[in-house]
Amino acid sequence: MKVIYQHLPPVEIAGRKLVGNVLFGLLILLSAVVGSAAGLLLVYSTDLPQVEQLEHYRPSSVTELYDVQGRVIGTFALQRRVIASYDDYPQVLRDALVSIEDKDFYRHSGINLWRIVGAAYRDIESGGKVQGASTLTMQLARNLFLSPDRSFYRKVQEALLAIQIERRFTKPQIFTLYANQIFLGHGAYGYEAASEYYFGKPAKQLKLEEAALLAGLPKAPQYYSPINHPDRAIKRRNLVINSMLEDGKVTAAQAAEAKAKPILLNLQKDPNTLAPYYVEEIRRYLEAKYGSDQVHEGGLRVYTSLDMDLQKAARQALLEGLAAYERRHGWHGKLANVAALGQKVDKYDDPDWDDDPEVNGYVHALVTEVSANAAQIRLGSRTATLAPSDAGWTKRKLPNILTVGDIVYVKVLALEPGGKAHVSLEQDSGAEGSIVAIDNATGEIRAMVGGRDFNLSKFNRATQSLRQVGSSFKPYVYTAVIDQGGSPDETILDAPVTFQTASGSYSPHNYDQKFEGTITLRRALAQSRNIPALKLADRVGIRTVIDYAHRFGVTANLPPYLPVALGSAEITLLEQASAFSVFPNDGVRIAPRYITKVTDYEGRVMEEDFPDIKDVVSARTARIMTSMLREVVLHGTAVAAAKMPFPLAGKTGTTNDFTDAWFIGFSPTLTCGVWLGYDEKKSLGERESGGHAALPIWMQFMNVALAGKDPGEFQPPPPAPPTSIAQKVDTPDVAPGDGETH
């Protein structure tokens, strides 16, 4: 086509040619830009995650353990997260988050071009990398699919993913995904978990100032931590409130009122600290059965047999009992010092300080200053002053026993304003203990304490420690006798005796080095006489006694030596306590249980544990033995418990050189076992018998456990049959060994 300009002036013709050339150039440039953009989009979209995955996406969530009343006693998680729905997040939280993070969230399609251009301009001007300007959707895309690096490449991918997410999901769905995914500091992921951690309540109950504080955390959770940096947290919170005011989400009066309020946190302690030994037993079981990933990321719901109230009572009773033992034996000293550990006093941090101390709790503290009449100590964020009266039991002056940098053991008597505490000086010489309580009717473990301090030792002395059980083994001897026709009113001679065995002569003695002559079997057990127990074991045969112990649930290897009848055998506390529950159960053994049910994240039952029930002895035998063990409490070695207003029975146990102290006892509804000793099997000290060291702990626990409840009644035993096993004599099949002294 030919254009004719013959009627136009030369200047106008030149101008039109110039405009045409410019337009043509712009078209070429636009084509190049579009082509380049398309090429870049193709390149950057290569290997992008499939957004379709989000339709089935479920973030890793917390596996929770519940006690018998539905209270959380423990959690397993790589990320502390509680999944919530859109409606679980209150409007005030939604408004706060949108106002500070993405004002146009409900209007844009995944990206905000103006914010991107502005942020890019600022970054180019400052010479930095592309950052900022991310919408909530872009942040979600980055958290779910991309790396956190701040590069142009990642930013483009983030935008592309955000657009895809917006095309497939509604705004409430996107908000919910984001609110469940985002990290908010101190191990909390998602606003529901953060609300529970920081304020001790669900997100639905958040107030304006609380919602604003949480909404300000995504920018820099550690920097704005209300725990570590409350001043920064307040400034950030108020900035969020101002943004809400600008957006018309709150009134000026509401904003002013909220900004004037201080940060009031109600930090939730790690629930695993209540029953750490018990929770650890469950963790090992679950991981062995379901795998670590499922346990720590799958959001299982584990319904346990523990009773939180009984667990607290058991822990307190054990700690009080250990403290009483320590005070009986005076101050030993030998305190660890941070300087000797190569640390500085002002930098020291103790594992006990992870949580704020509790009143009546026992924790380790650091001595920071010592004067003639006082010592200043630090326990986490709190401080305390030790006066001479707080260490009076040591019968020593504070400057003579404490130096700066010493790590001391204290009991928290009161928590006072201003970060102060009132404490008493205690001692941790290394003595340990454990306690187990079992529901007789179900076999469910209601309480378990495996040691003094889980932070110092993960070894569970209730389930892993094999210790000589002392005279608490004797009930198996008497059970064998009664079950084979014996009577508690039969008599036996408590007098010196020598047993001839394949290994030579064995001449045992009684705990008090005395002999009572002819006594009934009932009295022999109540007073824990050694000679009668050995004679009876010899008559029925030690192998028969061992067979009865195994019937009761004892799995330990018991050598067929006569001293086993006195408790030289090593058994765990859990097995011994479970075995004793047979007596109030009319001879029926119900295997101890930790878990009643496990469900998956969707609520489907993965396992349900039903009682494992076996007949051990006849109801007649069990009732007679219960009446005999009741005599131990009423008139025997556990007579201190006779004053308790409940029907109780049990047996003390003490080993040679007082290395182990036991009491295993029961009511008609609950069986509890207590053990005290040192891990290295050294002596607890002269006269530290089961009745002196272990029984008071058992009594303190049972007084709490049975208070206000119907304890039930023991069923009376039937009349004794006319025949007796007391006349039966068996050939000894034994060898000597270390016996029990009580």
**What's the mean pLDDT when you consider all of the chain?**
88
Contact 211, 199 (CB under 8 A): no
More confident residue, 46 or 223: 223
For residue 303, pLDDT beyond 90: yes
More confident residue, 142 or 152: 142
The number of angstroms, rounded, from the C-alpha of 335 to the middle of its chain's C-alpha atoms is: 28
Neighbouring C-alpha atoms within 13 Å toward the C-beta of 339: 6
Exposed, middle or buried, 268 (CB in 10 Å: 0-12/13-18/19+)? middle
For residue 3, pLDDT beyond 60: no
pLDDT digits (tens, 9 = 90+) for 653-665: 999 999 999 999 9
> Residue 688: helix, strand or coil by DSSP?
coil
Q: What is the pLDDT of residue 7?
A: 55
Of 170-179, 330-339, 421-430, 721-730, the range with the lowest mean pLDDT is 721-730
Strand partners, 416: 420
For residue 721, pLDDT beyond 90: no
Q: What is the DSSP annotation of 412-467? A: EEEEEGGGEEEEEEE---SEEEEEEEEETTT-BEEEEE-SS-TTT----TTTT--E
Q: What is the pLDDT of residue 737?
A: 33
Contact 530, 509 (CB under 8 A): yes
CA distance 338 to 348: 7
pLDDT digits (tens, 9 = 90+) for 553-571: 999 999 999 999 999 999 9
For residue 149, pLDDT beyond 70: no
580: nearest Cα among 468, 674, 463: 674
The neighbour count for residue 393, using CB atoms within 10 Å, is 17
178: nearest Cα among 235, 110, 92: 110
First to last CA, the chain: 123
Residue located via tokens 């701040």: 150
Task: Indicate the DSSP class of residue 200.
Answer: S
Q: What is the pLDDT of residue 125?
A: 54
Contact partners, residue 367, CB within 8 Å, separation at least 6: 375, 376, 377, 402, 403, 404, 405, 406, 407, 408
For residue 591, pLDDT beyond 90: yes
Of 106-115, 254-263, 497-506, 596-605, the range with the lowest mean pLDDT is 106-115
Contact 477, 338 (CB under 8 A): no
Q: What is the pLDDT of residue 341?
A: 82
Contact partners, residue 103, CB within 8 Å, separation at least 6: 243, 247
CA distance 71 to 73: 6
Element housing 598 (H / E): strand 595-599
User: Alpha helices, DSSP H only, in 247-299?
Assistant: 252-260, 276-290, 292-297
CA distance 650 to 642: 11
Q: What is the pLDDT of residue 142?
A: 82
Of 99-113, 197-211, 509-523, the range with the lowest mean pLDDT is 99-113
For residue 327, pLDDT beyond 70: yes
CA distance 393 to 155: 67
Q: What is the pLDDT of residue 24?
A: 62
pLDDT digits (tens, 9 = 90+) for 619-663: 999 999 999 999 999 999 999 999 999 999 999 999 999 999 999
Q: How many residues are there in the chain? A: 742
Exposed, middle or buried, 708 (CB in 10 Å: 0-12/13-18/19+)? exposed
pTM of this prediction exceeds 0.95 = no
> Residue 237: helix, strand or coil by DSSP?
helix
For residue 726, pLDDT beyond 50: no
143: nearest Cα among 156, 128, 161, 167: 161
For residue 605, pLDDT beyond 60: yes
Strand 382-386 and strand 362-370: pairing? unpaired
Annotated catalytic residues are 101, 471
CA distance 481 to 624: 11
How many helices (H) does the chain have, and how many strands (E)?
A: 21, 25
407: nearest Cα among 363, 459, 464: 363
Instruction: For Cα atoms 377, 382, 384, give the angle at the middle one, nearest 5 degrees.
Output: 40
CA distance 669 to 694: 20
Q: Which two tokens stand for residue 47?
A: 């290997």
> Residue 243: helix, strand or coil by DSSP?
helix
For every residue of 507-519, which 3-state class applies, written as one string? CCCCCCCCCCEEE
CA distance 679 to 459: 10
Q: Percent of the chain having pLDDT more than 90?
A: 71
For residue 722, pLDDT beyond 60: no
Task: Give 8's pLDDT tier (boundaries 50, 70, 90).
Answer: low
CA distance 269 to 712: 36
Sign of CA dihedral 211, 213, 217, 221: negative
- 116-123 long-range contacts, CB within 8 A, separation 24+: 116/159
Backbone angles phi, psi at 574, to 5 degrees: -60, -45
Q: What is the pLDDT of residue 150?
A: 55
